[in-house]
Structures are given as structure tokens and as C-alpha cells.
Structure 1
Amino acid sequence: MPKVIIEFKDVYKSFNGILVHNGINLSIVEGEIMSLLGGSGSGKSVLLKELIGLVIPDRGDIIVLGNTVTQMNEESLIELREHVGMLFQGAALFDSLTVFENIAYPLREHLKLTEKEIRERVAEKLYLVGLGGIENKMPNELSGGMRKRVGLARAIATDPNIILYDEPTTGLDPITAQRINELIIDLQKKLGITSVVVTHDLHCVKTVSNRIAMLYEGKIVAVGTWNELITSDIQVVRDFISGNICE
């Protein structure tokens, strides 16, 4: 039976009196790609921040790799984050640093590697995302899709167990978006990584997901495969997938 490595247990969170999470319950198993689907403002990205301890729930527990995140101090959270990579919406590269320095940054922060080992690790990760040999380029020399892939190379630099993707295809043309989708699947197969993908891009969800969890009005209203969701007897799920719910 697959091992559960991420678990949300009855999680509640409000911001300025507005309830964002109203009793979230979700289990994610090792090696799967789980997509979090929902409209803008449904709390998808907040779940990612709670998962790595950047946002603390008002109530409930979040367990990651056997650690109860909601009970950890900052030092312990920093250690946990070494095992979790994150691709931010805009890639979040440091514009003043080269591609090499961007990817080397988490290696220098978290691992005790020699300069030779860092260079080898950076080259390896760039090769994995299809960008070998661009170490000396600056972020402003890259296209949007290339920036995303460099951000992904940085996310996998420390060989994490989990990768979090926050809107990985937002702002990309359809061909580049499909390349990112293929890369998410490829990394899962090659590295055995557990992936959590936050998106409202239905094509991305259909393409990459092993399972999908849909958020609506602060709760997970459905969990299943794409085929299970499109045949769901839950009206709000069918409406969202058919485009009848405005974001």
C-alpha cells in the first residue's frame, strides 16, 4: 500500500475574518502527482505555504514526511524544507545572479558541498530540465519558459522528496506550457518525486495528475482521477470542469 507522506487533518485558516480553509482533509501518497484544483482565491497556494510552515493554520495538523509541521520550531522547519523543493509562479529567480548562482544558492545554504560538487550538481539539474550549458546566462536573457525550467532546476537541486508547483503553466504559451507539463511527469518518473501541483489550468491537471483534489468554499469537495472527476455526481465539480463557475 502506498505510503502517505503529506497529510492535512481538519485544517482551518482565516485571513482578516475571511475563512479560507474550512476543515481541509487530504492525504498525498509517495511518488504521486497530486493536483490541487480550484478557482482563484480558493486557498490552493495557501495550502502549499502551510505545508512548509510559511503560514500556520488556526486549527488542525499538517504532517509532512512524518513531521507535524504545525508543532515545529523555525530551526526544524528549515531542516524539513531541505526535503521540499518549490517552483514559484514567476520562477522567482534572483535577477542579479547568473543561472549557475541561482541554482547553486540552495546548495550553499543547505548542503556542505565542494565548489566542484556544486558545479557538477548544477550542470546535472540543468541537463534534467533540458537546459544544459546555460550556467552563465542572466535571467533577463531567458524566455518565460526557460525561467520556469531554471526555477525547476533550482527546486530539485537538493534532491528533495517533494516538489511543490505553484501555477507552473501560468503566463506561458500552449507549446511551452505543454513542455512544462511533460517535464513534471518526466521528473516524477526519473526521480520518484512526490509532486503537488496548484493550478486552475484544466489541461495541466488532465495531463500531469495521478489524482486531483478540488477546493471549493474552503473544503476539499472531491478527490480522484481526471476520469472520476469528469463523471462526478457532485454538481460543483462538473460545473468547474465545464467552465460554468467563474473564477
Structure 2
Amino acid sequence: MVEESSVTHAAGPVGGDSSHPWGTLASGFEQARAREDSLDRLVEWPAQRALLGDVTGLAILDAGCGNGAKIAQLANDGASASVGVDISGNFITPPPGVELIEGDLSDLAVVPGLAGRRFDRILFLQSFGYAANGVRALQTAREMLTEDGFILLTRTQPIRYAIERAEENGTSLGEEYFATEPFAYRHQSWNDHVTLTKRPYTMSDLLNTFSAAGLWIEAALEPQMPPEAAERYPHKQAVMDKYLGILMFRLRPLPGR
């Protein structure tokens, strides 16, 4: 069992979590994502693929790739260069054409093997919150894009955290949504022996972060469960009904930045 004190950490700027505990959480996350009723499988990944579109011949970087399974799938879908970066180093055996690199997404410019490279798509799939400084992480990613490239970024709906804390603390939704103090929590679905510290964020925090990084929102999506999946997994639909799910953004560089 991992000692909680060894992985408890302070939140970084712009509502982020430090990446240090991820090595401990990675295996639990991948096991949860592999479940048949995983919201990642039912909702998130299909929506992410739709926003990405055809990837044939494209160079793609997955920042915070977990075990690398998604970037491997994109390689299988025709991506010409597929690179995954994750701090855990807990990777699948990469198939041909896939590079998996142990490194911190907080500063992609210093990750071994990435200097001077350009990508058509850069992904932050539920990983952006682990950047030490969100603005800097996105600025670096923006500079690594090709001329027509974009960033696909997904984040948990911030109201979810406000609801959970309001229930736990006996407060109101508004109080918790606009709270600024970091809070400790354990992700029971991944590893309930790991204590994380998260800084709350609002929608305006996210939008201001994108703007400060020199990005504009080309498309935004709040995906829902398909009716057949909702009927098959009503317990998962209940989660979506209560906590609202996930936000997805397709981000492009602002002209002249």
C-alpha cells in the first residue's frame, strides 16, 4: 500500500494538479477505463474521435497519454506519426509507428525527443488539470502546432466538483462553485489510498486560460450517452444526469500570436 503522504501534493496554478501522483494512479485509471461501462468508452472517446475527425497522414501528440492505448488506436486509424507522453511510464508495448515517452506534460518543450517537432493535433484528454501551469503548458503546445493544427482538450465539468463538495460540506452549489481554496479528495474508482489536492476552477477560469495562452475555441462539445447505452447502463446515465459530464474544446491559435 502506498503511503498517502508520499503522494499528497499541492495544486498548481490555473486549477491544476501536479503530475507527481500519477505514477501511482495510472494502473487504477487504466483498469477503470477498460470496464465495459466506463464513461470513457461510452461517452468520452467516441466524442473525442468525432472532434478529431480523419487522422490519416497526421502527426499527433497525446500529452498525458496514460498507457498509450489511445494514441496507438490513432496510429491504427492512419496517423503518420503518433507520440504519447505520460509521467507514469506505465505503457503498453508500442505498435509500429508509435512512440511512448516518459515525461511531464507541464513543459512539452523539454520532453526528450520532442524538441523542434511539430504536430497537426495535440491532445490533452483529461490530462490538462495535471499541468503545473496551465497557461504555460498550452502556450508550449500552441508553438508545437503545424500551420493548420489544433489542440483537443477535455476537462471534467467544474460543476461536478461543486456538487460533490456541497453535498460533503453541507453548503450551497454557488458557494462551492466560486470557492477558491484547494480541497483534498480521493478518486475511489482509481485508487482510494491516494490523496490528491485540487484547486477549484470555473468556466471563466478555463476560458481565460485559453485566451491567455493565445488560443480561441473553434468548437465546444458536452457529449451525452447514446440512448442505447443509457438504457443498458442506467447507473452511468444517473451519474451524467447529476454531474453533467465532460467539456471538450477544439482550440486553435489566435491570429498573430
TM-score (norm 2): 0.33
